[in-house]
Each structure stands twice: as structure tokens, then as C-alpha cells.
């Protein structure tokens, strides 16, 4: 048999067979697509959880060195300089972007002398910086403070900004000085949350907020410390609603406290992205199934968006037996009926 005869005996792929192969390929991709989407979603959720847990360990290290948790806003400038405020992130900068083991029960923060890559920002923009130089801090983007489902707009092409996806438990909304019963009363009480405004003159007279005090009250595992919020501000902001998440003493669907509305979990997610409006100072995320949060013990959890608001209130407070209205000596309304009129 000649080579030509052998060649002529071979049959190529027909159009029908090609169409069948294409159909099989399309069907295969159709089955794989949801799995790929779910896999990517789970991966992003894990990254956000790992970043929050790492921030918790940064809190542990800061707490071990200073003996207390930081204020939700701090003054970056020296005592003799014009104040320059930033958030709770600033004292944690040396301890960010380092690997931590979430379930390391033997971890001792005092034995950990590592410093992360963002330590230089604290040195660069601290008391030795000039006011003009310090303005540059607002363009310092730190990936470890960003959820992968909440990237800043125009990250690659636009100007950098100090984006923040993770917020801290700041209790009830602070009351301004003119709204308080007296100037000696603080904007909020430690029992109502975790991080206070220690720059408030009246708050300076309060005992420092420590992990030991929370553990002795409601317990570290029953008190929220961190959460996601897709509508928070930047880490160089200092307003409570831009760097923290809050709760209200009375709640009725739209929710209101001190005349300000507060949305429920995941309502209008991203509508005020990066604006840090008080109405949006609540847990929110783009993850399916809930919002990642970390307790004061370091335990991470997925908060159900449909959680009973009273349960959320109890998780926010650090000492239920000592609750008081901010700027007042009056007790809070009974939270067994967290609804109805505004306080």
C-alpha cells in the first residue's frame, strides 16, 4: 500500500463532531463557572478574615506595650505642635503586615519584637514631621487595611489615598459637648463599646480601656472589636463614624439615635463608599452570607445580616451592667425592647 493510500484512508473531524466537542466544552464551562465564582468569593473572604485577625494581633501588641487599647482617634503631632489627627491605625502601624497565627494560644506579644514595613510611616509622620509634610499621610495606601471586595476606586490609575475597609467598635454615637448634661461627662462611656475618644477632655478622666477589664465584664469572646464597613472613611480620618461602627439604644427599622439615622447591616452597601457618613457606620460587606467581624478575644465570626438587633447591641457593649447614655448620667433604656421612639 502506498503512502498516498494510507493518507487517503485517514478521516478528519467532521463538522458534527466539532459541534459536539464545542457543546461539551460550553457545558463544561457552564458547570465550572459557578464553582470558579464561589472559589474566588471564598478566597476573598479568607483574605479579609486574615487581615482582620492580623489587625487584632497588632492591637494585642500595642496593648501590651501601653497597658491599654488606643483611642479611636490620636494626635500624630507633638504636644507643643498644632494637633494633627488620625485614626486608631496610627499607633498600630509598626505591627501591621506581619504574619500571625490566629490559633496560637501561647502567643506573648511582649516576646514579639518584629516591626512591619509600615513602621516607617509612624516615624515619618510623627512628632518630628512638619505640618506641611504630614499632609502626605493622606496618600499612604496600606493594602492590609483594605478588604479585597472593597478596593479604592482608581487604585492603579488615580492618586493614592489612605483607604480603610475595617472599623472598630466605638459604642454609641458620641455626644457633642453642647448636648451633654455637663462638661465633666464624657462623649461616651467605656461600657457602651470598646474604643473611646481619649482626646475628649472628660474621657481622659475615665479608667483606661483594657482587655482585662473587658474580660472581667462581658468577656472578650462576647464583645466585638473589629468589623468590615464598605462605606467607612480613610485610616487618616478621625471622626467616629468614619473609622468606627456604632449601635443605637433604640431601633425601629430605619433606626435613629441623637436624631441621626443608622442603617441595618448591608443596607445600601457601597452607596457612600469612602465618605464615612454616620448613617452608614454599621457592619457591611459584599461577601455572601454575612459580615466578617473579630471579637476582642481574636475569634473571627461571620455576622448574619438578619441578626436580631438586640443581639448585635449585646455584642457591641463591653459591660452590660454599666450602660449609660453618652454625655449623661442617665441609664440607657431597657434593651429588651430595642425599638420605638428615639432616645
Predicted local confidence at residue 256, as pLDDT:
37
Residue 253 lies in a domain: yes
Across the chain, how many H-helices and E-strands are there?
7, 9
What are 107-152's pLDDT values in tens digits?
999 999 999 999 999 999 998 887 778 889 999 999 999 998 888 8
As a whole-number percent, the residues of the chain with pLDDT over 70 amount to 85
298 — pLDDT class (breaks 50, 70, 90): very high
Predicted local confidence at residue 12, as pLDDT:
63
Residue 6 lies in a domain: no
Residue whose entry in the numeric block shows the C-alpha cell 478622666: 205
C-alpha cell at 163: 483607604
Residue 34 lies in a domain: no
- Is residue 216 within a helix (H) or strand (E), and if so which, with residue range? helix 211-216
Range of the domain at 211: 48-337
Residue 323 lies in a domain: yes
Does 186 score more than 60 pLDDT?
Answer: yes
Q: Which of 109-118, 168-177, 212-221, 264-273 has the lowest mean pLDDT?
A: 264-273
Predicted local confidence at residue 203, as pLDDT:
87
Predicted local confidence at residue 259, as pLDDT:
44
Contact indicator for 234, 164 with CB cutoff of 8 Å: yes
Predicted local confidence at residue 294, as pLDDT:
97
Q: Which of 131-145, 239-253, 306-320 has the lowest mean pLDDT?
A: 239-253
The mean pLDDT of the chain is 84
Q: Which of 157-161, 253-257, 301-305 has the lowest mean pLDDT?
A: 253-257
Task: Report which of 198, 174, 211, 193 is spatially closest to residue 88, judged by C-alpha positions.
Answer: 198
Those residues whose C-beta lies under 8 Å from the C-beta of residue 324, and which sit 6 or more positions away, are 189, 191, 192, 330, 331, 332
The CA–CA distances, whole Å, from 115 to 92, 122, 333 equal: 10, 11, 45
C-alpha cell at 74: 490620636
Task: Report which of 240, 242, 227, 235 is spatially closest to residue 283, judged by C-alpha positions.
Answer: 227
As a whole-number percent, the residues of the chain with pLDDT over 90 amount to 55
Q: For residues 246 and 23, give the distance between their C-alpha atoms in angstroms, rounded to a whole number.
A: 53
Predicted local confidence at residue 68, as pLDDT:
96
| Angle ∠(24,26,28) on CA atoms, nearest 5 | 65
What are 142-185's pLDDT values in tens digits?
999 999 888 887 777 667 889 999 999 999 999 998 889 999 99
| Burial 92-109, CB ≥16 within 10 A → b, else e | bbbbbbbebebeeeeeeb
Residue 33 lies in a domain: no
Residue 201 lies in a domain: yes
Q: How far is CA 150 from the centre of its chain?
A: 11
**Number of domains into which the chain is organized:** 1
Backbone torsion region of residue 230, taken as left when φ is above 0, otherwise alpha when ψ lies between -120 and 50, otherwise beta: alpha
254 — pLDDT class (breaks 50, 70, 90): very low
For the entire predicted model, the pTM comes to 0.83
Residue 342 lies in a domain: no
Residue 41 lies in a domain: no
Amino acid at each position: 500500500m502506498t503512502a498516498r493510500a494510507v493518507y487517503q484512508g485517514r478521516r478528519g473531524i467532521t463538522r458534527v463532531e466539532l459541534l459536539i466537542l464545542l457543546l461539551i466544552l460550553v457545558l463544561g464551562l457552564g458547570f465550572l463557572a459557578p464553582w470558579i465564582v464561589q472559589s474566588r468569593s471564598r478566597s476573598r473572604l479568607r483574605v479579609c478574615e486574615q487581615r482582620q485577625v492580623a489587625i487584632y494581633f497588632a492591637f494585642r501588641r500595642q496593648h501590651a506595650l501601653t497597658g491599654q487599647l488606643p483611642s479611636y482617634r490620636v494626635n500624630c503631632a507633638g504636644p507643643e505642635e498644632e494637633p494633627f489627627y488620625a485614626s486608631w491605625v496610627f499607633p498600630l502601624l509598626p505591627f501591621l503586615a506581619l504574619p500571625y497565627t490566629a490559633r496560637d494560644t501561647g502567643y506573648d506579644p511582649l516576646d514579639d519584637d518584629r516591626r512591619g514595613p509600615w513602621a516607617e510611616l509612624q516615624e515619618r509622620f510623627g512628632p518630628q514631621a512638619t505640618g506641611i509634610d504630614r499632609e502626605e499621610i493622606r496618600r499612604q495606601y496600606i493594602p492590609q487595611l483594605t478588604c479585597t471586595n472593597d478596593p479604592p476606586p482608581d487604585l492603579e490609575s488615580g492618586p493614592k489615598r489612605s483607604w480603610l475597609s475595617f472599623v472598630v467598635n466605638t459604642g454609641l454615637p458620641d455626644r457633642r459637648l453642647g448636648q451633654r448634661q455637663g462638661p465633666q461627662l464624657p462623649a461616651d462611656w467605656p461600657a457602651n463599646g470598646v474604643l473611646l475618644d481619649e482626646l475628649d477632655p472628660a474621657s481622659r478622666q475615665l479608667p483606661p480601656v483594657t482587655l482585662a477589664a473587658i474580660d472581667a465584664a462581658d468577656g472578650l469572646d462576647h464583645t466585638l472589636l473589629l468589623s468590615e464597613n464598605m462605606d467607612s472613611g480613610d485610616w487618616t480620618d478621625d471622626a467616629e463614624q468614619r473609622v468606627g461602627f456604632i449601635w443605637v439604644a433604640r431601633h425601629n427599622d430605619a433606626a435613629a439615635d441623637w436624631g441621626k439615622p443608622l442603617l441595618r447591616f448591608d443596607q445600601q452597601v457601597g452607596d457612600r463608599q469612602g465618605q464615612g457618613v454616620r448613617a452608614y457606620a454599621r457592619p457591611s460587606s459584599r461577601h455572601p452570607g454575612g459580615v466578617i467581624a473579630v471579637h476582642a478575644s481574636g475569634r473571627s465570626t461571620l455576622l448574619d445580616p438578619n441578626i436580631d438587633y438586640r443581639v448585635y447591641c449585646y455584642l457591641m457593649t463591653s459591660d452590660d451592667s454599666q450602660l449609660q447614655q453618652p454625655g449623661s448620667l442617665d441609664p440607657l433604656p431597657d434593651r429588651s425592647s430595642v425599638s420605638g421612639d428615639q432616645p
